[in-house]
Amino acid sequence: MRLNSTLIAHAEAALAALLKFSSPADAVLSRYFRAHSALGQNDRAFIAETCYAALRHLRSLRARIEEAGKAQKQEPERKQKPEPETRRLLLAALFCHRGWNLAQLEPLLRSGDSEWLRAARMLDTASWPAAQRCDFPDWLYEELVPTHGDDLETLAASLNRPAPLDLRVNPLKISREEALQQLEAAGIKAAASPCSPLGIRVAGKPALNRQPLFLEGAIEVQDEGSQLLGFLVAPKRGEMVADFCAGAGGKTLLLGALMRSQGRLYAFDVDQKRLERLKPRLARSGLSNVYPVLLGSERDDRVRRLAGKFDRVLVDAPCSGFGTLRRNPDLKWRQGAGDVAELAQKQTAILEAAARLLKPGGRLVYATCSLLAAENEAVTMAFLAAHPEFSVLPAEEILRGREISLPGSIPQNADGFLRLFPHVHGTDGFFAAVMEKR
């Protein structure tokens, strides 16, 4: 596409709104696009992808701009009228990370821009602090060092790349092979996901909301790692199952499909808006065994009345979301160590409440899309210490029983927990502990 001053002005305005970090990035962009409805699909894609590139690499881009500016001989008038940071961030993101060259950027360049952009891209970053090379805040880098060590820069690089588009087929309506054939016929390049037996990985970012497969509920957008959590729960037909933090219901729909729409599946959540987003998806899915329930809190009386009645419970707990930085790069700049500590307390309370639902012999799966031990192992081990009636089931053995094998993960998961990483598995970062009530 060809750039013009109007498009870059929109990108600057959108990035300026994002850099306030007052709301999730996807919500900020959604509001911006609603307010500027004349923007076409390609323009919106350019704005979103460029702003997200700036957010992913915000710390290193700022360092590049600063160091390149020091090396550049600036004209006196440029010193007096410094330009907005957003413009330089966008140009640097395009030139250093999105593969645009100076000829493509030429309509936007001002005097001296070519020189500082070349200098910014050619900087030797070897002497930078490791956290800056990783584009992490210092506190997050320090939290991840004990668990990732020498592998941390590789993990960071994978988290700083855009995520692929993963789909899940609804086995009640279509097989994966049939879905692949229909996507190919529609001109959409796709292939079977490497791990999930229901997963499809799509090339590029095609618009799916008008595709017949999507409208009919035959496919849903769902990261492959998220799909694997459903196979850890492994619900059976006729069972009583709970998705305790159901949200918009992606995992709920998978659990219902694995149950073949038989038994009772409760979708609990404390957020009415999230449960509202489940309704149209549920209608498309064809499931008849799902019961959305709005809770006042994890201690809601309805939870207490159902204690001891469930065969399986999934707790996909609210978390920092640092495993989803490929999709939500703003999270690392919007949150701090204090937020993680508060989340760990909430996760502990939710896990305690959800565990009461299980009958003896029942299965409890605690999961997050976080990379932090404070939200994962620490919460799980404290729960196990307080509840000796629960024991860990090896997650990878459960997956192998479904003929699902994971690349390069056995040493990481030797304690029985499941850990997924984008640089190893091609998924978002996930943690899961499968526990059985004796």
What is this structure's pTM? Answer: 0.93
Cα angle: 129, vertex 132, 138; to 5 degrees:
85
Strand pairing partners for 165? Answer: 202
pLDDT at residue 80 in the model? 45
Residue range 67-84, pLDDT digits in tens: 998 766 554 545 545 678
DSSP character for 322? G
Residue range 384-411, pLDDT digits in tens: 999 999 999 999 999 999 999 998 755 6
DSSP character for 82? P
For residue 383, pLDDT beyond 90? yes
Mean pLDDT, the chain, as a whole number?
Answer: 94
Residue range 156-210, pLDDT digits in tens: 999 999 999 999 999 999 999 999 999 999 999 999 999 999 999 999 989 898 8
- Retrieve residue 318's tokens: 């609210």
Q: Tell me how far apart the alpha carbons of residues 431 and 51 are, in angstroms, rounded to a whole number.
A: 28
- Using DSSP's 3-state secondary structure scheme, residue 315 falls into strand
CB 274 within 8 A of CB 302: no
Average pLDDT over residues 272-293: 94
Q: For 72-86, 352-366, 418-432, which range has the lowest pLDDT when averaged over its residues?
A: 72-86
pLDDT at residue 29 in the model? 97
Share of the chain above pLDDT 90, in %: 89
Q: Tell me how far apart the alpha carbons of residues 6 and 12 are, in angstroms, rounded to a whole number.
A: 10
Residue range 81-137, pLDDT digits in tens: 567 899 999 999 999 999 999 999 998 899 899 999 999 999 999 999 999 999 999
Q: Tell me how far apart the alpha carbons of residues 379 and 381 are, in angstroms, rounded to a whole number.
A: 6
Q: How much is the CA Rg of the chain, to the nearest whole Å?
A: 23
pLDDT at residue 414 in the model? 76
- Helix (H) or strand (E) holding 264, with range, is strand 264-269
- Helix (H) or strand (E) holding 269, with range, is strand 264-269
DSSP structure string for 313-367 = EEEE-----GGGTTT-TTHHHH--HHHHHHHHHHHHHHHHHHHTTEEEEEEEEEE
Produce one character per residue of 287-312: b if its CB has 16 or more CB atoms within 10 Å, e if not.
Answer: bebbebeebeebebeebeebeeebbb
Q: Which of 96, 245, 319, 369 is labelled catalytic?
A: 369
Residue range 232-260, pLDDT digits in tens: 999 999 999 999 999 999 999 999 999 99
Strand pairing partners for 293? Answer: 268
pLDDT at residue 209 in the model? 86
DSSP character for 127? T
DSSP character for 149? G
End-to-end Cα separation, the chain, in angstroms: 61
- Retrieve residue 304's tokens: 């207490």
Residue range 31-56, pLDDT digits in tens: 999 999 999 999 999 999 999 999 99
Average pLDDT over residues 291-309: 92
CB 149 within 8 A of CB 188: no
- Helix (H) or strand (E) holding 96, with range, is helix 85-96
Q: Tell me how far apart the alpha carbons of residues 71 and 221 are, in angstroms, rounded to a whole number.
A: 46
Average pLDDT over residues 295-305: 90
In sequence order, the 6+-apart residues with CB closer than 8 A to the CB of 37 are none
Q: Tell me how far apart the alpha carbons of residues 156 and 162 are, in angstroms, rounded to a whole number.
A: 12
Average pLDDT over residues 149-158: 93
pLDDT at residue 323 in the model? 97
pLDDT band at 1 (very low <50, low <70, confident <90, very high): confident
pLDDT at residue 71 in the model? 67
CB 265 within 8 A of CB 311: no
Cα angle: 68, vertex 72, 75; to 5 degrees:
135
Q: For 80-89, 169-178, 296-305, 312-321, which range has the lowest pLDDT when averaged over its residues?
A: 80-89
Query: 245 an active-site residue?
Result: no
